[in-house]
Structure formats: C-alpha cells, structure tokens
Amino acid sequence: MNPGPNGVDGASIHRTVDAVWRIESARIVATLAKVTGDFSLAEDLAQEAVIDALAQWPSAGVPQNPGAWLTAVAKRKAIDGWRRRERLDDRYRAIAHDLAELGDATDAGEPIDDDVLRLVFTACHPVLGREAQVALTLRVVGGLSTEEIARLFLVPVATVQQRIVRAKKTLAAAKTPFETPDPSEWSARLGSVLGVVYLIFTEGYSATSGDRWMRAELAGEALRLGRMVAGLVPREAEAHALVALMEFQASRFGARSRADGSPVLLADQDRARWDRAQIGRGVAALERADALGRGRGPYALQAAIAECHAVAPSVDDTDWERIVVLYEALGRIAPNPVVELNRAVAVSMAVGPASGLRIVDEISTSGALAGSYLLPSVRGELLARLGRVQEARSELTTAAGLVANDRQRQVLLDKAAALEE
Amino acid sequence: MKYMLIMRSTAEAIEASKSMDFTEIINAMGAYNESMVKAGVLIGGDGLTDAQEGFVVDFGGETPVVTDGPYGEVHELFNGFWIVEVSSREEAAQWASRAPLGAGSKLEVRRITDESDFEAFSDNEYIQKEKEWRGEGALG
C-alpha cells in the first residue's frame, strides 16, 4: 500500500488518509495530549496534520509509516504554534525540548497504550454528559468524523459539532488533567467508559427513534471500541464481559429483521441465521472474564444470559431456569426495574405466565417504568398467553402509543390485531 | 466487513528466514497481533504447518489424484492468515501493510463473503442450507 507519485487520484488518497486516521488517530492524539497537556489542542493539531497529508500524499506518495508521519507533522505544528505566539516561556520551552527529544523514540513504537487509555478516560470524563462522552469517544478514540457520527446517530452535523466543541470547552474549563484516574476512582471511571461503549452499542442494536430498527454499523463501531478497551485493560473482567455481551447480541443481527426492514422478535428468529463465529467469540470473551476469577459483574451476568439464548437450539429448549437465576443475581448487584421486567419474562417461560404477571404487577404498583412502553408490552404479552384477550389488546395498544421507534410500534399493533377474541 | 490476510512466501523469503532469529520473528508477529487486538480489529487467524506435511489434490487428469506434492511454485504456498473486521478496503490494506513480513513475502488480502454477496440467490436450496450449516456450527 505504497502507491507512487503517479496515478493516485484524489479520492483514493482521501480514502487512504481516512483509513490511516481511523487506525492511528487515538495514538496520535494521545501522544500529543500527553506532551502538550492540552486535549483540545492535541486534536486540532492532529486534524491539521491530516490536512497536510491530503495535500502532500497525492504527489509524494503515502509514507512508509503514515502514523509516525502524521505525529511528527502535528508535533512540529505544536512547536511552530508556540513560537509564532511567542509563548516560549519556560514551560513551553521545556515541552518543545521534550517534543524534539521524544520525536523518534515514540514513533519507533514505544509503548503508548497508557496514553490511549488516558484518552479513553478523558473522553468519558464524568464532568461531561453522556451525549458529549459518546460524541467525543467516537471522534477522538474511534477516529470517526463529525459527519460519520451525525449519520450514525441521525442528528444534524451541526449538533455533533456543537456537542464536541462544548465537550472540549467543558474539559478545558474544568482543567481536566490528561491522566488515568486514581486507583480509588478506577472502577467507577472504567464503569463509565464501558457504559459509553454499551450505550453506543444499544443505540445501534435498537434505535430509540427513527424508522430503522437497528443500525449495524453503529453496533460494529461499539464492538471495535469495546475490544479496544478490553485490549487496553486486559485484567479487567468487566471489559471482556462487555465484549462478550456485545458479541452475543450482535450475532443475532442477521436474524433480527426481515428483508423489508421490519423486526423479528427473539422467539420468531431463524436461529440458523445467528452468526456462530461471533457467538464463539462471545463464549471466548466471557471465558476470559471468568478466568480472571473475580466473580461476575453486571456485564458478565448479562453476557451469561445472552449466552444461554445464543446456545439454545430453540425458545422451548432454552435453559429458562438458569436465566431466572442469572436475572436474580443481576437484580441483586444492579437493581433496576428493566432487569426485574426481564426476570418476569424469564419466570413466565420457566414457570408460567401467571407467575410472570405477578412480578410485572409488582413493578407496576411500585410506579417504576411508568410511561415506558416496556411494562404494558410485557403485560400485554403475558395476558395474551393467559387468554385474557381484551386486557391484552388494551395493554399492547397502550404500549404502541408510548414507543418512539416506528418499527417497534408496528410490531405491537400487529400483535394486538392478531389476538383472537 | 471482514477481510482475510493471507501470507504467501517466495523462495527469497524462505531463504531469508533461515538466517533470522526465530524469537525475533515471534516477537515481531506478536507485537503486530497485539496492535490489531488493541485496535479491536483482529477476530481470527492461524498459522499453517510446513508445506511438507500438506498434500495436493490434482484435478489435472480425469479423476482427482492425491499426491504429497510437489506444489507448482513456491508462491502457491501460503503459511498463515489473519481475519480482521474493518470498515473499508483501505483500512484492510493499511493493516496488511503493517505486517512484519520480510523481503519476498506477500500478503494477499481478500474480502470474506457475507450474506449480502448471495442476495440474488437467496432462494437457492444450497444457499438456504448453508445458513443452516452455519447455524449448526458446521462451517465454523
């Protein structure tokens, strides 16, 4: 992949630069952020280096080590910038010296995993809201362009731009140091990183709005980020567990929608279309998590539940008792009404719909999930199985009125319509 | 999309490898694999044992003949592969260009087909069956 000066068209160089950026941007930005101490400046410098690449590579050819080329150019820009602004006070003089010294050592492949990890933690810093964390993570860690992020989240480019600009300002205003958190904060901060990755995945797995039921590209990006984080913190069981969970869920993508884009629910999915290689990777990732021997956290328990589904030949042959136990464990360490609702479904499969309905009614009485379509949709389902058709139809219609995704709404309305008196 | 990076040798590469420190080769390969793991793109790969252990089924005649070789040319040999999951052909090419392979080696990069490649034949009996085989894990 070293095209000479001749015969390289602009579009092809652009695609190559995009690919290099995707692979290298996290390392480049991380290196620059470390030496400049300024996360926002680091990203700007790296982007400027890309503009230089687009101008120079078509005639000069793609360099042997494009990542090192971009890093070197960005570093030079940092030093030039300080000189221009005559800000060569002692601190910057020292940094400029460091940059010059550091130059080739870093490019030769000095371990900078810690820098990338700092980048991940900075992008997911708690001073930022979730939307900002998501945008910043995809941009600076994932190397996605503002346009790509906007396309994936179905929001205007200007919105993403604003989120990123504001996020950078917030980080600067809070004087966020570019560092990995203190050991005492470690688990909470890693939890937030994993949460951001999973949020990106779930948005791809089941779009909260719009006319598409899922967006595989977004889920794929989350998987890549998740595998990346697990690669950076291989001793963290929950990172591997999250990868396992995402692999299991993504293995069903091929079976989750029909040719016309309408969704197919778990019970109706053609399991032959689940991606076995992906399920295999999920099993392996969960084994890695378990092998660390520190017990199962929330992602590991969810992954274990997903594994039960993934390895079951059919809905009836699913180990529902085991799923109930796993949901009970999950409810103890991460109490959450949605988990409780899922437990109700599992109980209804293991024991019968009446037992499931009792749990649903308890959630209902507690007032949790009020206004969510989830509660009436599950309740409607269970009532239908109990033969209480009229109540079931009313619940399903209520659920349809509460759901924001067009595809999901249609599924609920179809179910209500299909109920026989 | 998934790509397979197939390692191919030449006589020159085989000759060069004889004078190389095997620990160095393992370390370089390990570092390369690690960089792909850390970027979240590596999803599979294996090396293949020496070609002398392999054999050839030759379809040149009327009936296939199994022989223990010889292979026609060294460049027909391949000795390992990686499978990466990337977002573009260019990204696959960039990863491939980073493999620590010596002079004379070649990497052949091929996209792995997915269901979308057979959409036009989705009614075909064997395309249907293949999905089932995959579902049963028969195709790994």
The gap from C-alpha A245 to its chain's centroid, in whole angstroms, comes to 12
Q: Which residues contact A378 (CB under 8 A, 6 or more apart)?
A: A341, A344, A345, A356, A360
Q: Which residues contact B76 (CB under 8 A, 6 or more apart)?
A: none
pLDDT of residue A296: 95
Check CB contact under 8 Å for A274 and B90: no
| Minimal CA separation from B114 to chain A, in Å | 10
Is the model more confident about B23 or about A100?
Answer: B23
pLDDT of residue A1: 45
B-proximal residues of A, 21-60, CB under 8 Å: 22-23
Of the pLDDT bands very low, low, confident and very high (cuts 50, 70, 90), residue B138 is very low
| Minimal CA separation from B49 to chain A, in Å | 23
What residue in B sits closest to A16 (Cα-Cα)? Answer: B90
Q: Which residue among A19, A231, A254 sits closest to B38, beta carbon to beta carbon?
A: A231
Tell whether B112 lies on the interface with A, counting CB pairs under 8 A. no
Q: Mean pLDDT lowest for which of A225-234, A337-346, A400-409, B86-95?
A: A400-409
CA atoms within 13 A on the CB side of A135: 25
Is the model more confident about A109 or about B65?
Answer: B65
Q: Which residue among A1, A18, A273 sits closest to B97, beta carbon to beta carbon?
A: A1
pLDDT tens for A307-335 read 999 999 899 999 999 999 999 999 999 89
pLDDT of residue A4: 44
pLDDT of residue A50: 93
What residue in A sits closest to B95 (Cα-Cα)? Answer: A23
Check CB contact under 8 Å for A276 and B87: no
> Quick one: average pLDDT of B80-85?
93
Check CB contact under 8 Å for A228 and B31: no
Query: How high is the mean pLDDT of chain A?
Result: 86
What residue in B sits closest to A313 (Cα-Cα)? Answer: B136
The angle at the Cα of B23, spanning B19 to B25, to the nearest 5 degrees, equals 70
CB A181 within 8 A of CB A127: no
Q: Which residue among A23, A109, A276 sits closest to B134, beta carbon to beta carbon?
A: A276
Check CB contact under 8 Å for A276 and B140: yes
Q: Which residues contact A314 (CB under 8 A, 6 or more apart)?
A: A271
Check CB contact under 8 Å for A231 and B39: yes
Tell whether B34 lies on the interface with A, counting CB pairs under 8 A. yes
B-proximal residues of A, 137-196, CB under 8 Å: none
On the question of pLDDT at A24 being above 60, the answer is yes
Tokens linked to A259:
């040719």
On the question of pLDDT at A3 being above 60, the answer is no
Q: Mean pLDDT lowest for which of A84-98, A117-131, A235-249, A333-347?
A: A84-98
A-proximal residues of B, 45-84, CB under 8 Å: none
Check CB contact under 8 Å for A1 and B96: yes
Tell whether A260 lies on the interface with B, counting CB pairs under 8 A. no
Most confident of the ranges A6-20, A82-96, A148-162? A148-162
Q: Which residue among A16, A232, A275 sits closest to B38, beta carbon to beta carbon?
A: A232
Question: What percent of chain A stands above pLDDT 90?
Answer: 57
Question: What percent of chain A stands above pLDDT 70?
Answer: 88
Most A-contacting residue of B87, B119, B123, B136 (CB-CB within 10 A), to test interface: B87
On the question of pLDDT at A2 being above 60, the answer is no
pLDDT of residue A110: 47
| Minimal CA separation from A76 to chain B, in Å | 24
Check CB contact under 8 Å for B93 and A19: yes
Is the model more confident about A153 or about B30?
Answer: B30
pLDDT tens for A183-233 read 888 888 899 999 999 999 988 776 554 555 557 788 899 999 999 999 999
Q: What is B20-80 written as a DSSP string?
A: S-HHHHHHHHHHHHHHHHHTT-EEEEEE---GGG--EEE-SSSS-EEES---S-GGG-EEE
On the question of pLDDT at A401 being above 80, the answer is yes
DSSP secondary structure code for residue A208 in this structure: S
Of the pLDDT bands very low, low, confident and very high (cuts 50, 70, 90), residue A98 is low
Q: Which residue among A16, A20, A277 sits closest to B140, beta carbon to beta carbon?
A: A277
On the question of pLDDT at A252 being above 80, the answer is yes
pLDDT of residue A5: 45
pLDDT of residue A53: 93
| Minimal CA separation from A111 to chain B, in Å | 10
Query: How high is the mean pLDDT of chain B?
Result: 82
pLDDT of residue A112: 60
Q: What is A249-294 written as a DSSP string?
A: HHTTGGGSB-TTS-B--GGG--GGGS-HHHHHHHHHHHHHHHHT-S
Tell whether A234 lies on the interface with B, counting CB pairs under 8 A. no
Of the pLDDT bands very low, low, confident and very high (cuts 50, 70, 90), residue A109 is very low
Tell whether A19 lies on the interface with B, counting CB pairs under 8 A. yes
Q: Using a CB-CB distance cutoff of 8 angstroms, which residues of chain A are in contact with residue B3?
A: none
Q: Mean pLDDT lowest for which of A54-63, A88-97, A347-356?
A: A88-97
On the question of pLDDT at A105 being above 50, the answer is no
Check CB contact under 8 Å for A276 and B31: no
The angle at the Cα of B96, spanning B92 to B102, to the nearest 5 degrees, equals 175
Q: 3-class DSSP state for residue A43?
A: helix
On the question of pLDDT at A399 being above 90, the answer is yes
Amino acid at A354: A
Check CB contact under 8 Å for A23 and B95: yes
- Chain A and chain B share a number of CB contacts under 8 A equal to 76
Q: Using a CB-CB distance cutoff of 8 angstroms, which residues of chain B are in contact with residue A228?
A: 38-40
Most confident of the ranges A110-124, A264-278, A348-362? A348-362
Check CB contact under 8 Å for B134 and A223: no
What residue in A sits closest to B115 (Cα-Cα)? Answer: A254
Burial of B83 (0-12, 13-18, 19+ CB in 10 A): middle
Tell whether A226 lies on the interface with B, counting CB pairs under 8 A. yes
On the question of pLDDT at B72 being above 80, the answer is no
Most confident of the ranges A243-257, A287-301, A403-417, B90-104? A287-301
pLDDT tens for B15-70 read 877 888 888 888 999 999 999 999 999 998 888 888 778 888 888 888 888 888 76
Kindly provide the ipTM of the predicted complex, given to two decimals. Answer: 0.79
Q: Which residues contact A383 (CB under 8 A, 6 or more apart)?
A: A357, A389, A391, A392, A395
> Quick one: average pLDDT of A65-76?
91
